[in-house]
Amino acid sequence: MSTFDKREEAFENKFAHDAELKFKASARRNRLLGQWAAELLGLKGDAIAEYAKEVVKADLVEAGDEDVFRKLRGDFDQKGIAQSDHEIRRAMSDLMEEAIRQIQSEG
């Protein structure tokens, strides 16, 4: 294997690792986000975990975070929960950082 081939393989491995980390972090963030939102919605016990699963599933609708944002925005609006778009997006950002920290500390 030439040096070029080794560099190419290393680059491909790093790309795959980074993509996997991003996927895991996004799923973890969505679970944390679901738990955060569930508490604001007044859910208790098993309903919190179920709602968190719904938020994770909502992210499978389309690429990016807008599907998750729309779910939270709609659920908050439906229940009359006062959360601005900025507050929701801030929670999404903060919890992504937390998800990445958690995953990095595990590995």
Looking at residue 60, what is its pLDDT? 81
Q: pLDDT tens digit string along 53-68?
A: 999 999 887 878 899 9
The DSSP secondary structure of 23-88, one letter per residue, reads HHHHHHHHHHHHHHHHHHTT--THHHHHHHHHHHHHTTSSSSSHHHHHHHHHHHHHHT----HHHH
pLDDT, tens digit, 9 for 90 and up, residues 19-32: 788 888 999 999 99
Q: What is the mean pLDDT of the chain?
A: 89
**Residue 25 is part of which domain span?**
3-106
Predicted confidence (pLDDT) per residue in 66-88, tens digit: 999 999 999 999 999 999 999 99
Q: What is the CATH number of the domain that holds 86?
A: 1.10.790.20
Domain count, the chain: 1
DSSP 2: -
pLDDT score at 85: 96
- pLDDT at residue 4, as a whole number: 67
